[in-house]
Structure 1
Amino acid sequence: MILVTGATGHLGTAVIDQLLKHTSTENFVALARSEEKAKALKDKGVQVRIGDFDDPASLEKAFAGIDKLLLISTVAQNRGEQQKAVVEVAKKAGVQHIVYTGVSLKDLSTSAIKWLMASHFETEDAIKESGLVYTFLHNALYTDVIPMYVGEHVFEAGIYLPAGDGKAPFALRREMGEAVANVLLQDGHENKTYEITGSELYSYTDVAQALSELSGKSVSYTNADPTEFTEKLKQFGVPEFAILLTAGFAEDQKNHQFEEVTNDLENLLGRKPLALKEALKEIYKL
């Protein structure tokens, strides 16, 4: 029996949709924090268990009878503590195998958002120390988050980010979800680590060019000054945590932290993932 955490989130939804295509609902369950959040899952015929990462007792009940657990990393500021607690409860409940979605990053020690990224690797250490079978999926940046970083007026104002000429192997979240589902349903992924990346590296200059070609408008990319960029976000009333994340990811891209390409996603999908232009066409419905 498989359990999917984060099942109401974007990646979790993509995983659930793939599981529904390839296996019976008798073979997996979804974890949700409340009945209200679980409604869409139940409408799809998915079995739901209620549990909260901040309530270990609820997790003990939810993990009963589970063999393989997909731990989708959270976005909470106390992510490390939450996820270590999940590992402890999983071990106690008799879970055999944890699949964890982390991050593809070249050098944690020099990351601009080490304070956030470190929890990924601390979670992996906790899983290894637990003695459970593991599969680690180091996800590259989602193509899907590009609209959030470039803003809703990108076709009029262009892209303004302090990302320099750094590149990233952007990949679609739904294709990552498909790869995760395949890992959950297949044997042979025990105690392995995969770098889940797109097939090519792209800069924001490439993003601007692709959006220009798709829209027929001239979309420019301005390599913003980091201090000015942060000040502009503050002026627009962007929450401090969101500013730290946006600026931090941009700085890491500028410093080439994400510039790694592998065939792991292609191999797990059995085909090449969508290239940037085709993925942006899908996201922007162009």
Structure 2
Amino acid sequence: MKILVTGATGHLGSTVIETLLKKISSNQIYILTRKEEKRKEFQSRGFNAFLGSYDDIIALENAMEGVDTVLLISSGDEGDRMQEHKNVIDTARKKGVEHIAYTSRCLNDRNTLANKLMVEHFDTEDYIFESGLQYTIFRNILYMDAIPQFIGGKISLEKGIFLPAGDGKVSFALRSEMGEGMANVLLKEKNDNKIYNFTGDKTYSFYDIATALSQISGKDVKYTNIETAMFETMMKQRNLPESVIQKIVDFVTDIKHNQEANIFDELEIQLGRKPTGLKDGLKILFGF
């Protein structure tokens, strides 16, 4: 097995690599990174490391030379994400890569999403299906790791949680456990043309999050469901750019509409244990 991990220096990619190393050697793992110092670091550890981005076709071609599987970790939304994804998929076809895996999103209905950026994940899936490549799609639920960002970090322990999320629920899972599950799938000999939905085994609302934080912190943390307009005003007072505010609002709106509330057992199966629950996850994330 020779596998290329893109986005290797991010939290998800790092966990995938750590898990892969338990079963295969570093010289079977190929790395694509934007940072030269990271490339040198990986190279010194025995990885096949390449400097480049999803926009750099030559770098993609070099990184895929002799590779069996490409793990495409989805790009950020700063640039033309769809074109970047197409570059990776097209290069994989050109270089004769047998199998491509993609980190998509586990969402209820692509046709009713408020967050249109999420639709690009499904568009990427469609492009992979049409490419003729053997594929594995990882539809990942919203990271539990994102909760501190949504609620304002430890400030929420003092001031409470204010979001227009209603009583919408999410089957949160830790990013590290999703990365571990993905690597376990990729290490299998036959995993082609499959879709895995990685979620936690329970759903939680922000009322549940407030209750859990109260229990682990000893403080009385409350969640207040506020109107979207009030939330936007609060964000503006924090001098956040309009584009960032809209992105947060769209995420929260989809949570309110239970786009992230599906539960599947596939992450538990791949981990060989139950995913970490909310209370234990928050202890890790908040350092309790």
TM-score (norm 1): 0.96
Q: Residues 47 and 61 (structure 1 numbering): CA distance in 2 closer, same or farther, change over 3 Å?
A: closer
Contact 2:104–2:139 under 8 Å retained in 1: yes
3-state SS of the aligned residue for 1:106?
Answer: coil
Q: How does 1:1-286 map to 2 (within 5 A)?
A: 1-38=2-39, 41-42=42-43, 45-77=46-78, 78-114=80-116, 116-152=117-153, 153-286=155-288
**Distance of 2:144 and 2:41 partners within structure 1:** 25
Q: Which moved more, 1:13-22 or 1:201-210?
A: 13-22
Contact 2:136–2:192 under 8 Å retained in 1: yes
3-state SS of the aligned residue for 2:16?
Answer: helix
3-state SS of the aligned residue for 1:100?
Answer: strand
3-state SS of the aligned residue for 1:74?
Answer: coil
**Distance of 2:231 and 2:38 partners within structure 1:** 35
**Distance of 2:19 and 2:115 partners within structure 1:** 32
Cα RMSD, aligned residues only: 1.4
Q: How far apart are 1:76 and its partner, in Å?
A: 2.2
Q: Residues 40 and 226 (structure 1 numbering): CA distance in 2 closer, same or farther, change over 3 Å?
A: farther
Contact 2:27–2:46 under 8 Å retained in 1: no
3-state SS of the aligned residue for 2:147?
Answer: helix
Q: Where does the alignment leave 5 or more consecutive residues of structure 2 unmatched?
A: none
Q: Which runs of 4+ in 1 moved over 4 A?
A: 42-45
Q: How far apart are 1:43 and its partner, in Å?
A: 6.1
**Distance of 2:112 and 2:160 partners within structure 1:** 29
Q: How far apart are 1:57 and its partner, in Å?
A: 2.0
Q: Where does the alignment leave 5 or more consecutive residues of structure 1 unmatched?
A: none
Q: Residues 144 and 161 (structure 1 numbering): CA distance in 2 closer, same or farther, change over 3 Å?
A: same
**Percent of matched pairs sharing the same residue:** 48
3-state SS of the aligned residue for 1:207?
Answer: helix
Q: How far apart are 1:244 and its partner, in Å?
A: 2.0
Q: How far apart are 1:47 and its partner, in Å?
A: 3.2
Contact 1:8–1:41 under 8 Å retained in 2: no
Any idea what the Cα deviations from partners look like across 1:183-219, whole Å, max 9, x if unmatched? Answer: 1111232101111100000000111111110111111
Quick one: which amino acid aligns to residue 118 of structure 1? V
Any idea what the Cα deviations from partners look like across 1:214-246, whole Å, max 9, x if unmatched? Answer: 111111101121111112112211133322221
**Distance of 1:191 and 1:36 partners within structure 2:** 36
3-state SS of the aligned residue for 1:22?
Answer: coil
Q: Residues 19 and 235 (structure 1 numbering): CA distance in 2 closer, same or farther, change over 3 Å?
A: same
Contact 1:169–1:258 under 8 Å retained in 2: yes
Q: How far apart are 1:41 and its partner, in Å?
A: 3.8
Q: Residues 154 and 189 (structure 1 numbering): CA distance in 2 closer, same or farther, change over 3 Å?
A: same
